[in-house]
Amino acid sequence: SMETAERSNVGMQCRNYQSGVAMLRQPKGITYFWAVLSVVSFLSLYQLNQLCVSFGILMG
């Protein structure tokens, strides 16, 4: 958990640990490409669902 990682980090700092731990670093922000891809994927799946409902394949 994050709490355990934070306590471990404090313990390493108390022991003057000089290196970083990769899993404690913040993730990079989402890029424009991935944001657009997420929105396009959502809209495509939504349209596919609406198409299936209109043909009676799914009950919606």
DSSP 19: S
Contact 21, 12 (CB under 8 A): yes
Residue at token pair 């990682």: 5
Q: What is the mean pLDDT of residues 38-53?
A: 95
Looking at the 3D structure of the chain, how many domains does it have? 1
Residue 60 lies in a domain: no
Q: What is the mean pLDDT of residues 2-27?
A: 65
pLDDT band at 35 (very low <50, low <70, confident <90, very high): very high
> Domain containing 50: what range?
2-54
Give the pLDDT confidence score for residue 43 in this predicted structure: 98
Instruction: Pull the structure tokens for residue 10.
Output: 């404090």
Residue 26 lies in a domain: yes
Residue 50 lies in a domain: yes
Residue 59 lies in a domain: no
